[in-house]
Structures are given as C-alpha cells and as structure tokens.
Amino acid sequence: MTNLATYAVSEENSQGRIFFESAPQYRSQTQRDRDRVIHSGAFRRLEYKTQVFVNHEGDMFRTRLTHSIEVAQIGRSIARVMSLNEDLVEAICLAHDLGHTPFGHAGQDALNRCMKNYGGFEHNLQSLRVVDQLEERYAEFSGLNLTFEAREGILKHCSKSEAEKLGDLGLRFLQNFQPSLEAQVADLADAIAYNNHDLDDGLRAGLIEMESLREQALFAIHFDEVTKSWPSLSLRRMIYETIRRMINYQVVDLVETSQQNIQKLQPQSIADIRQSSPLIKLSATGFSQHKALKIFLRDTLYCHYRVHRMSKKASKIILSLFEVFMDDIRVLPKDVQYRIKSAVSQALSSSEREKYQARMIADYIAGMTDRFAISEYEKLFNPLTLT
C-alpha cells in the first residue's frame, strides 16, 4: 500500500487478526479481507435479498448485493482522494450488510421481535457474527478471520451491553473513541448510496411523485440544472443525470469538508484519529439536505402502501418461520438441527438452552434470501405444497 496518509490504516499500525496467519503473497492484508468477503456465501446471498423492493418484484430494482457494490464504489473514490486505505474501505463496504435478513428492514424488525426475550437481533451485530463465526470456509478457524479494522468498520453502532461482550472491539463504544477514518468513510458512503439509489428505485416504481420530490433542495438544484441544459431529454434520462450529479455533489462536499476537519486537527497517527471527534462529515448545508431527503424517503417511499403491504407479508413470513422452528426443530434441515443440538448441549439451564436454540434459528432465518424464505413458508404452511 503506497502513498497512504500517516493516519490511515496500514500494515504497520493494524491490530491484526484474531487468529494469526502468515502474510499473504502479492496482496496486502486488507486486500485479503476484501477477497474473503467477496468469496463468502453470505456475500453471494445478498443478490437475492431486498433493498426496498422484494426480489421478485422486478429485475431492475437494487438488491443488497448491488447496493453493497455501489457503496464500495463511492467509498473507494473518497478513500483514494484522501490517501486512505482503499482496500479496507472496500472490504467494509462490501461486508456491511452480510448479516441483513431477507425482506430488508421489515425482516430485521420482525426477527428482532422474535428475539425479544433472547437478546434481540440487530443486523450490524449479525454481520459481525457472520464474519467472526458463521462462515465455514477455512480449516483453522470459523468465520473469515478479518483484521480488527475491517471488523471495527462493520460494527457501526452497538449498545453498551453488547459492547461489553466484544472485548477490544467493543471498547470504543464504552470509552467513546472513534473508529478509523476508513470506517467513517464506509459509513457515510453507505448513507449517500442508500438515499440516492432508493430515490432512483422509488421513481422507477412510480411510488414517488415528481411534484413533491422537487420540493427537496438536493434534488431540485440538480434537476433544474439538467432541464435547463437538456430540455428535450427524456424524463428517465433526466432523472439518471440528476441522481448522478447528486451523488457527485455529496461526495465532493464530504471530501472537502473532511479535508478541512483533518487540516484543523493535523493528526499524525491513527491514535490521533481515535481520540478526536468524527472527522468524515458532510458540510452543515450538505447534511441538512441529506437529512431532509432521508425524511422525505421515509415518509413517501418506505411508508407507501405498496411497500407497507409487502412489509406486512414479510413480517408474517419471518414470525411464522421462527415460531414453527422454535416449536419443533425437526422441521429444519439435518445440518441445522445438528448445529442447534451442538449449541444447546453446551447450555447449563433450560432457559439457556432455549436462548441458544433461538439464536441458532435466528442465524438460519437471517441467512435466507427473500425467495428461499417465501419457499420455506410455502412448504410449511401451504397444504398443497408437499415437499
């Protein structure tokens, strides 16, 4: 890794991996992290997991996989111009949704309700659980054995009670220090991608009205520029050009604001970054526009009756699967039964056994794709489906 800032994550200042491994040939440690994420089963399953629209609703809508790739592209662009570790940013961006349930946030909320008495469910913690434990690809360890800095970036937020269980990884939530700049970049890249691409999909689906959208400053400024420059352009291309400009505007705003913050602090090492306030930020105007668009999408798109209908169906599927699996694990595949029995055998009490079983079932459901969850529901609850 060349031309890194002194406060960027590097081979020299990395806190390493849980399990020691010899340095890779012809790759950096963070390239190895990125490659392991890409080759994981959880990453491949993102192709059939909902972003906003359930997978079978249309081929043109984004999935968790395409979202993650788009986040990584934005993150790498920011990291490059700021002399940060591009490969680490990419690894974090590609891994940040590995623990997401089928059916997007509706699925997460439903699974969290199921797990209310067993420690709850949160997709950030689940993403960490995937890379630390659930992926089974390597002979010497469970999980992907990612570097501390990649794992730190995946865990964007965490309660103090959960942080206390995570050792060194949880310390920043207990002692109030910051993650690396690479982790901060990945977090903001996710937010920028999420807003702009959900807007694109919402317009494509006809769930957002142009009249109300043009009241949003972030959209209106760029849409007006496009219509003045190309008045005869089709509306679809105008929207593409507008969203492209919106993303570019926010990336430039973030880079320039963040560079100003870094210039004021004059950090010399990653330790200085950890002891500071967050440095990767949008400007006050940029953040205000971003927040307003986020609220607009929540009220207009995510609460649209068509999205809400699908969310209700998704919740029913998740709740029903969890209930039937908890009632009788014999309806589960043999390998899942075996994992549950192995985990439960370590419990010291009946309440602990139930908690272990619930967590393993949550792992199984969270790992499902949309279409697999729908298929399992059909097999279990449709009397005409016999397999």
Which tens digit of pLDDT belongs to each residue from 356-385?
999 999 999 999 999 999 999 999 998 776
Determine contact, residues 38/45, Cβ cutoff 8 Å.
no
Which band of pLDDT confidence, cut at 50, 70 and 90, is reported for residue 386? low
Percent of the chain with pLDDT over 90: 83
Last-in-domain residue among 260, 280, 305: 305
Query: In this predicted structure, what is the pLDDT of residue 382?
Result: 84
Q: Which residues pair with 17 in a beta bridge?
A: 147
Query: In this predicted structure, what is the pLDDT of residue 278?
Result: 97
Please give the span between the terminal C-alpha atoms of the chain, in angstroms, as a whole number.
52
> Does residue 325 sit within a domain?
yes
Last-in-domain residue among 305, 339, 360: 305
Closest listed residue to residue 33, CA positions, set 93, 77, 78, 81: 93
pLDDT in tens, 170-223: 999 999 999 999 999 999 999 999 999 889 988 988 889 999 999 999 999 999
Residues 195 and 324 in one domain: no
Whether the pLDDT of residue 92 is over 70: the answer is yes
Query: In this predicted structure, what is the pLDDT of residue 62?
Result: 80
CATH number of the domain to which 172 belongs? 1.10.3210.10
Q: What is the mean pLDDT of the chain?
A: 93
Residues 320 and 219 in one domain: no
Token pair in block for residue 344: 């439960």
Residues 127 and 265 in one domain: yes
Residues 282 and 340 in one domain: no
Residues 280 and 356 in one domain: no
Residues 294 and 332 in one domain: no
Q: Which residues pair with 50 in a beta bridge?
A: 63
Residues 74 and 165 in one domain: yes
Handedness of CA 359, 364, 370, 371 (dihedral sign): negative
* Domain range for 338: 315-381
Residue 33 one-letter amino acid = D
Query: In this predicted structure, what is the pLDDT of residue 166?
Result: 93
Count of all residues that appear for the chain in the document? 387
Residues 250 and 365 in one domain: no
Determine contact, residues 115/125, Cβ cutoff 8 Å.
no
> Does residue 2 sit within a domain?
no
Mean pLDDT of 248-269: 98
Residues 223 and 359 in one domain: no
Query: In this predicted structure, what is the pLDDT of residue 52?
Result: 65
> Does residue 15 sit within a domain?
no
> Does residue 288 sit within a domain?
yes
**d(C-alpha 38, C-alpha 26), whole Å:** 18
**d(C-alpha 249, C-alpha 253), whole Å:** 6
Whether the pLDDT of residue 56 is over 50: the answer is no
Query: In this predicted structure, what is the pLDDT of residue 58?
Result: 45
Determine contact, residues 206/301, Cβ cutoff 8 Å.
no
**d(C-alpha 91, C-alpha 95), whole Å:** 6
Closest listed residue to residue 251, CA positions, set 181, 178, 180, 190: 190
Query: In this predicted structure, what is the pLDDT of residue 59?
Result: 46
**d(C-alpha 349, C-alpha 354), whole Å:** 9
> Does residue 276 sit within a domain?
yes
Query: In this predicted structure, what is the pLDDT of residue 2?
Result: 63
> Does residue 80 sit within a domain?
yes
Distances (CA, A) of 332 to 317, 322, 368, 379: 15, 11, 13, 12
Query: In this predicted structure, what is the pLDDT of residue 53?
Result: 55
Residues 263 and 319 in one domain: no
Token pair in block for residue 343: 């985990």
> Does residue 5 sit within a domain?
no
Mean pLDDT of 78-98: 98
> Does residue 75 sit within a domain?
yes
Last-in-domain residue among 305, 328, 352: 305
Residues 366 and 266 in one domain: no
pLDDT in tens, 300-351: 988 888 888 888 999 999 999 999 999 999 999 999 999 999 888 888 788 8
Mean pLDDT of 121-134: 96
**d(C-alpha 387, C-alpha 376), whole Å:** 10
Q: How many domains are contained in the chain?
A: 2
Query: In this predicted structure, what is the pLDDT of residue 387?
Result: 60
Residues 223 and 161 in one domain: yes
